[in-house]
Chains A and B, each alone.
Chain A
Amino acid sequence: SQTIHQWPATLVQPVGSPLSLECTVEGTSNPNLYWYRQAAGRGLQLLFYSVGIGQISSEVPQNLSASRPQDRQFILSSKKLLLSDSGFYLCAWSSPYEQFFGPGTRLTVL
């Protein structure tokens, strides 16, 4: 069966520090992968999606970036965090019929 992992589960970082969040999927090959952010009091915002290794599409302009160095690995990064980057970050992969979400990373920028 397929599983999706995210780490870390929680993270507290100072403003201006770098960020690296990792997502890996097991049990499937060549999945579409997604990064979402859920800010307090707001819905889910799609940040990036990827249909293959090295293929990244950005949905919104921001100081975040994403990379897909391997088929089942998706990384969300920032060189310098902003206060507004705080939120709950969710990784997801999709089959042709459904999108499956990871457990999320709670990021607090102070």
Chain B
Amino acid sequence: GNSVTQMEGPVTLSEEAFLTINCTYTATGYPSLFWYVQYPGEGLQLLLKATKADDKGSNKGFEATYRKETTSFHLEKGSVQVSDSAVYFCALKEGGSNYKLTFGKGTLLTVNP
């Protein structure tokens, strides 16, 4: 079956530090890949996505590149802010009409001023 493995953290950084959250996946076929963010007490919001190999998703200074050869979709940001403190989830979607997502366990990021 499909699975997503991401570094579980927690990750604690100082403001303006560089962020990497690793995500690798196992899937049949050619899945789409996503990063979701969950701010404290809220639901999940889509942060970025990539639908095919070598695509780069980007949003709010975050980036992730779909690497088929390493089955990875690592999340990066060059300079984090306190407001980036949240839980980040990597997820994949199989091809097909049923939009079922498989999530990683989430990574808690805390950014200190």
Chain A CB within 10 Å, residue with most, of B42, B43, B45, B97: B43
Whether, in the assembled complex, A103 has its beta carbon less than 8 Å from a beta carbon of chain B, the answer is: yes
Q: Are A42 and B105 in contact (CB under 8 A)?
A: yes
Q: Are B45 and A101 in contact (CB under 8 A)?
A: yes
User: How many residues from B make CB contacts under 8 Å with A?
Assistant: 18
List the B residue with the shortest CB-CB distance to A91: B43
Whether, in the assembled complex, B89 has its beta carbon less than 8 Å from a beta carbon of chain A, the answer is: yes
Whether, in the assembled complex, A51 has its beta carbon less than 8 Å from a beta carbon of chain B, the answer is: yes
Q: Which residues of A are found within 8 Å of B27, using beta-carbon distances?
A: none
Whether, in the assembled complex, B104 has its beta carbon less than 8 Å from a beta carbon of chain A, the answer is: yes
Cα A34 to Cα B93 with chains together (Å): 14
Q: Which residues of B are found within 8 Å of A101, using beta-carbon distances?
A: 36, 43-45
Q: Mark B59-79, 1 if CB is under 8 A from A, else 0.
A: 000000000000000000000
List the A residue with the shortest CB-CB distance to B46: A98
Q: Which of B81-113 contact A (CB under 8 A)?
A: 89, 93, 97-101, 103-106
CB-based closest 6 A-B pairs: A94-B99, A43-B105, A101-B43, A101-B44, A44-B103, A103-B43
A-side interface residues toward B, CB under 8 Å?
32, 34, 42-44, 46, 49, 51, 90, 92, 94-96, 98-104
